[in-house]
Structure 1
Amino acid sequence: MIPYGKQLLDAADLAAVQQVLNSNWLTQGPKVPEFEQAILLKCQAQFAIAVNSATSALHIACLALEVGPGDSVWTSPNSFVASANCALYCGATVDFVDIELETGNLSIQALSEKLILAKQTNSLPKVLIPVHFAGQPCDMPAIAALAKEYGFKVIEDASHAIGASYQNKPVGNCFYSDICVFSFHPVKIITCGEGGIATTNNAKLARKMQMLRSHGITSEAEELTEPSHGVWYYQQQMLGFNYRMTDLQAALGLSQLSKLTHFVAERHLLAKWYDDAFADNKGISPLQQQPYAYSSYHLYVVRLLNLNKTQHKDCVQFLRQQGIVGHLHYIPIYLQPYYQQLGFKAGYCPQAELYYQQALTIPLFPGLTAKEQHSVVDALQHFLENTQ
């Protein structure tokens, strides 16, 4: 099977992990801070907090911004459920802003209209979590302007977007947001096996996230509420979690990070080949790339414009029968059974639902061969030619 995405590991990655295995530190050693510093240099931010997953990073980011009962968090419905679940973990409510059909990203127009109505009903969000879908950044300057006007905080869910940029600034620099979150799951741009990181330029937010990832504990002398009883003394000052990243994960992440630019460049070449292959097919519309953005191309998504719901499902099944993992990113979060129980109904975000009916993710990852790409295109076009 040709997967829709996968990691690419080499001898240097294996050696980096082996070095840690041969050391005295499998966790809570020197590699995690080393990885954090490398991310800071890449993203041009001031602080980085590495954790065991992007889900954990989203959770502690919300907590650092004091999201809690009575608060509302808005996000995109076109994402993995973690983008919304993090608000519920904090006891807040979650709401959704419709997307742009052409990009899959949160719609600035829909956000603006929703904010106007929310102000009138005194129901503005405390935090907005825009999702950089498939690796293409949202219009962050526009979001930042609305955040300033309406007084909400911004967490960038950049789980798809390490290595991306907007207006020639790297995603993760937090110039237009309070916190930015990345994922290092194996299907992402680079991997730690599993892991995530939050970047910020706010020292207080950074320190709070550092404590939250490790049980809410501190041993820093200036933070203790009474004199230290010894070098071993620590205090739990808040309810935190065991969200720490291990040195094994950080070592792999460091090695992968050195190849980030190459990985993203290769993804662009593969995406350009698909773009050219589909250029004359009026039934296939790749997601549009915006001029202000440089995507990391975590995913390559096309919209199949002329298929009904049954044909869409049949297309995915046909590709898999041909040894190609076609996939869907994403079912709108609020259509999940759990969110339906919270009161959300079909029709809530019409553009997200139309996107859901049309979208297809096809294979894109470093190491994808020309032969494999030809197989993907031939199979997809064969199905469309024999269906329409």
Structure 2
Amino acid sequence: MTSTPAPFLPYGRQTIDDDDIAAVTQVLRGDWLTGGPAVNAFERALADHIQAPLAVVCSTGTSALHLAYGAVGVGEGDCVVVPAITFLATANAARYLGAEVVFADVDPDTGLMMPAHAEAALLAAQAAGKRVKLLAPVHLNGQTGDPVGMAELASRYGAVVVEDACHALGTSYLDAEGVSHLVGAGAHAELTCFSFHPVKTIAMGEGGAVTSTSPEMDQSLRILRSHGMTRDPALFQRRDLAFAADGQANPWYYEMIAEGNNYRATDIQCALGTSQLQKLDGFVARRRHLVDLYQDLLAGVPGVRPLGRVAGSMPAWHLAVALIDFDGLGTDRAAVMRALAAQGIGSQVHYMPVPWHPYWQERAVAGPAIPGAEAYYRQCLSLPLYPALQDADVVRVVASLKSVLGA
């Protein structure tokens, strides 16, 4: 009699229930597949949930970053400060607009760009004759760095803050007075960008959003989201074409007033997103429990330590990261990952420093050294984390990891 093998545990996956399927089915049976009421409903629900005045939904987290950078006026001649440890999109969105990028170092224990790292990169860019327009802190793994300090730094240097919170839907943090702020509410950033990829806290298949506190910024985001065009008569410039003899706007008329893209999200995506939002608090609580369990079980394992914690940050964990001294243990990360996979355990690395990629080696503005980013990258390993993961699964993951490491 053969035993049933244990199921494979990926490093991340979506959690889809019958109510999510019903929400999507309702859209498919309705009149609108895109540009309909489900889009507006999701934007209202998202803004309400994270206490943001305004929210614009879009097709991906990458498009959210591109829209946000464009809305604050990033363009040729500008420079954007980006942490060395992040996904490519944080830097790429600046290049889409013709701007340059200078990479900042990060804390080796958290992977987070702190204000001191950002200032060092900013000063390096200035020394190279570059004008820094924007700071793009990344709430890596779901944890904030220092949003208050980053806002103060931006103010001192005449820059703006656009947060990459693609890992951090549901995260909050405390300011110096002990007041709690939700990421995306806009207390210490001009704009905040989110992602709803299947491995993120809520899933839309693909999807993103930008939150803001400014009606003018919200209007710019919406124009850029849809080819740079508007149907608002107040914004029309070609009055000879826009208006009939009686002074009313022609019913068919629209104008392209900016260089935009088709970054719209569909009603199908947004129906799923709205259904998932109703479970966000439960998803966040479950992820926190699982990360705490990992931390307890990994305590005392030779050569392994949990991710550093930032005081005052209450993360909605996107990833469960272990920092492993592979060299000290006499092994290498690739061998460990393959051995874990052979035991049905998925893992991943988030991320290789972006300035090491060939494209960015040739194009980034010369910035400070990045020893913290290198140290973080050499040791980080993302272990399975998603709401459907059971406590027993975490026990199995840690047992497998200890076995593979010979601990």
TM-score (norm 1): 0.95
Q: Name the residue aligned to 1:152.
A: 159
Query: Given that residues 167 and 195 in structure 2 are in contact (C-alpha distance below 8 angstroms), is that contact kept between their aligned partners in structure 1?
Result: yes
Q: 2:183 aligns with which of 159, 166, 171?
A: 171
Among all aligned residue pairs of Structure 1 and Structure 2, give the percentage whose two residues are the same amino acid: 39
1:20-39 mapped onto 2 (5 Å cutoff): 20-39=27-46
* CA-CA distance at 1:204 after TM superposition: 1.5
Query: 2 CA distance for matches of 1:84 and 1:301?
Result: 23
**5+ residue gaps in structure 2?**
1-7, 175-179
Is 1:48 aligned to 2:68, yes or no? no
Query: 2 CA distance for matches of 1:59 and 1:122?
Result: 24
* CA-CA distance at 1:273 after TM superposition: 0.8
1:288-311 deviation line (CA, Å, top 9, x unaligned): 222211101100001102536961
**Root-mean-square deviation (CA), in Å?**
1.8
Query: 2 CA distance for matches of 1:97 and 1:360?
Result: 21
Q: 2:230 aligns with which of 218, 221, 227?
A: 218
* CA-CA distance at 1:109 after TM superposition: 2.2
Q: 1:117 to 1:340 in 2, by over 3 A?
A: closer
Query: 1 CA distance for matches of 2:90 and 2:303?
Result: 31
Query: Given that residues 307 and 358 in structure 1 are in contact (C-alpha distance below 8 angstroms), is that contact kept between their aligned partners in structure 2?
Result: no
Query: Given that residues 101 and 352 in structure 1 are in contact (C-alpha distance below 8 angstroms), is that contact kept between their aligned partners in structure 2?
Result: yes
Determine helix, strand or coil for the equivalent of 1:125: strand
1:276-296 deviation line (CA, Å, top 9, x unaligned): 101122411111222211101
Is 1:136 aligned to 2:136, yes or no? no
Query: Given that residues 97 and 107 in structure 1 are in contact (C-alpha distance below 8 angstroms), is that contact kept between their aligned partners in structure 2?
Result: no
Query: Given that residues 102 and 125 in structure 2 are in contact (C-alpha distance below 8 angstroms), is that contact kept between their aligned partners in structure 1?
Result: no
Q: Name the residue aligned to 1:327.
A: 348
Q: Name the residue aligned to 1:296.
A: 316
Query: 2 CA distance for matches of 1:336 and 1:354?
Result: 17
Query: 2 CA distance for matches of 1:279 and 1:379?
Result: 15
Determine helix, strand or coil for the equivalent of 1:338: helix
Query: Given that residues 102 and 287 in structure 1 are in contact (C-alpha distance below 8 angstroms), is that contact kept between their aligned partners in structure 2?
Result: yes
Query: 2 CA distance for matches of 1:346 and 1:59?
Result: 23
Query: Given that residues 160 and 188 in structure 1 are in contact (C-alpha distance below 8 angstroms), is that contact kept between their aligned partners in structure 2?
Result: yes
In structure 1, what residue type is equivalent to 2:345?
I
In structure 2, what residue type is equivalent to 1:109?
A
* CA-CA distance at 1:108 after TM superposition: 2.4
Query: 1 CA distance for matches of 2:260 and 2:358?
Result: 29
Q: 1:256 aligns with which of 263, 276, 280?
A: 276
Determine helix, strand or coil for the equivalent of 2:332: helix
Is 1:368 aligned to 2:389, yes or no? yes
In structure 2, what residue type is equivalent to 1:384?
L
Q: 1:343 to 1:58 in 2, by over 3 A?
A: closer
Query: Given that residues 24 and 272 in structure 2 are in contact (C-alpha distance below 8 angstroms), is that contact kept between their aligned partners in structure 1?
Result: yes
Q: Which has the larger radius of gyration?
A: 2
**5+ residue gaps in structure 1?**
none
Determine helix, strand or coil for the equivalent of 1:166: strand
Q: Name the residue aligned to 1:380.
A: 401
Query: Given that residues 114 and 150 in structure 2 are in contact (C-alpha distance below 8 angstroms), is that contact kept between their aligned partners in structure 1?
Result: no
Query: Given that residues 227 and 260 in structure 2 are in contact (C-alpha distance below 8 angstroms), is that contact kept between their aligned partners in structure 1?
Result: yes
TM-score (norm 2): 0.91
Query: 2 CA distance for matches of 1:59 and 1:84?
Result: 10
Q: 1:358 aligns with which of 379, 400, 404?
A: 379
In structure 2, what residue type is equivalent to 1:261?
D
1:315-339 deviation line (CA, Å, top 9, x unaligned): 1111111111111000011111221
Q: Name the residue aligned to 1:98.
A: 105
Query: 2 CA distance for matches of 1:91 and 1:361?
Result: 33
* CA-CA distance at 1:345 after TM superposition: 9.0
Query: Given that residues 335 and 345 in structure 1 are in contact (C-alpha distance below 8 angstroms), is that contact kept between their aligned partners in structure 2?
Result: no
Deviates most, 302-311 or 328-337: 302-311
* CA-CA distance at 1:43 after TM superposition: 1.6
Query: 2 CA distance for matches of 1:355 and 1:305?
Result: 10
* CA-CA distance at 1:75 after TM superposition: 0.7
Query: 2 CA distance for matches of 1:123 and 1:221?
Result: 38
Q: 1:68 aligns with which of 67, 75, 96?
A: 75
